[in-house]
Amino acid sequence: MSWTAAGPVLVINSGSSSLKYQLVVPDTAEVLASGLIEQIGESSGRISHSTGEQSWTREDPVADHGAALTLLREQFAAHGPDLDGVGITAVGHRVVHGGSRFSDPVVIDDDVLVEIEKLSPLAPLHNPAALAGIRAARERFAVPHVAVFDTAFFAGLPAAASTYAIPAELAAEHAIKKYGFHGTSHEFVSRRAAEVLGRSTEDFRVIVFHLGNGASVSAVRGGAAIETSMGLTPLQGLVMGTRSGDIDPSIYPYLHDAAGLSIPEIDTLLNKRSGLKGLCGDNDFRVLDRRIADGDEAAERAFAVYVHRLRTYLGAYAFALGRLDAVVFTAGVGENNARVRAAATADLEHFGLVLDEARNTERSRSARVVSATDSPVTIMVVPTDEELAIARKAEQLVG
């Protein structure tokens, strides 16, 4: 690793109604503080701040992202650490959509802001929120600000993987292609898996399942992504907490005609009311697990649909890679839910995947192997850390 000892980086993940932050030292991964400001723009807001040893929460309305950044500074002033004293080297911002324009992190100037703004039609919920956070942060922190894009790791996808089979001119005119998301996590986790196994990334072929409330899978060969399940938007691919993932595109016009739903209504339906939530009413796996234990059929079916999709992608991506060294699970569900990992990899001994039940059910926060010692394909759990990855990229760029 080439980064040098330097001050901490403030990482900001600005969503439409929330703003997450973390003050982290890139080379040691030490988190000095973190916080979450929620319900921005609503009549009541919630502000929480933690220094690891202690946490504080208060309720107060937060008018907009500017007010959120003022509150962020107030939290540090009240509870520490002293933001002006710690010597922040950069502020790293998560930006969801970098389009075809951004394949690497970039130091933010006025031109970059214009470019990110131009990409807003591709990510109407995410990019305007990131922009609001960046603008407010630039006014309050006189250090370099770096944008790290969720799409960047997938910018080099082979054209055969990123091209939709629609008229080529239309796709070019409207920048329609598979962009992929969660890239910072897929890159971090695939590299970390190679590191843990003592393998060079150049000769490592791995499938990464990022299973959180949003979920995606990638195939990574020699450190580069060759496939991923999310598309033009984060709606494509796996069954997620509230998103449908893959469906027959004809369901859109059919719902319009048969159910009388407008396009915005269908979009909301597929993004917010589908997935596990649509199938059984719950999207939290902890609740789902309890319901399944009680013999709840809707929860069992939701679980089966979720796992079936995982296995279908697992098979497809193994073939895309040609050889499979490891399968890695990460994010909230991937790291914590042994049943999902077991079901996704069950009965695949013929294809070289042999899970070790005891290892799989052991609780741990570390990156670890959960397959049998003699399993030809290594199955792993590798905790993701997008904030640390963003901090390191920001530090590398400006440090």
- Give the nearest distance from C-beta 334 to ligand AMP in angstroms: 8
Nearer to ligand AMP, 233 or 283 (CB): 283
Nearer to ligand AMP, 92 or 275 (CB): 275
- Give the nearest distance from C-beta 337 to ligand AMP in angstroms: 5
Residue number closest to ligand AMP, CB atom? 332
Q: Are 88 and 143 in contact (CB under 8 A)?
A: yes
Nearer to ligand AMP, 120 or 336 (CB): 336
- Known binding residues for ATP: 20, 210-214, 284-286, 332-336
- Give the nearest distance from C-beta 370 to ligand AMP in angstroms: 15
Nearer to ligand AMP, 162 or 330 (CB): 330
Nearer to ligand AMP, 234 or 332 (CB): 332
- What is the DSSP annotation of 274-326? -HHHHHHS---HHHHHHHHHTT-HHHHHHHHHHHHHHHHHHHHHHHHHSS--E
The answer to whether 150 is a known catalytic residue is yes
Helices (H) and strands (E) in the chain, counts: 15, 14
How far apart are the C-alpha atoms of 29 and 26, rounded to whole Å?
5
- Known binding residues: 13, 20, 94, 210-214, 284-286, 332-336, 386
Closest listed residue to residue 208, CA positions, set 116, 305, 321, 326: 326
Element (H, E) at 55: strand 55-59
Closest listed residue to residue 24, CA positions, set 275, 397, 390: 390
Residues that bind ligand AMP (CB under 6 A): 212-213, 241, 283-286, 331-333, 336-337
82, 110, 111, 150: the catalytic one is 150
- Give the nearest distance from C-beta 15 to ligand AMP in angstroms: 12
Q: In the Cβ-directed half-sphere of 294, how many Cα atoms lie within 13 Å?
A: 9
- Known binding residues for substrate: 94
Q: Give CA angle at 15 (340, 392), nearest 5°.
A: 75
- Give the nearest distance from C-beta 254 to ligand AMP in angstroms: 29
How far apart are the C-alpha atoms of 321 and 217, rounded to whole Å?
13
Residue with tokens 């897929």: 186
Q: Are 48 and 56 in contact (CB under 8 A)?
A: yes
Catalytic residues: 150
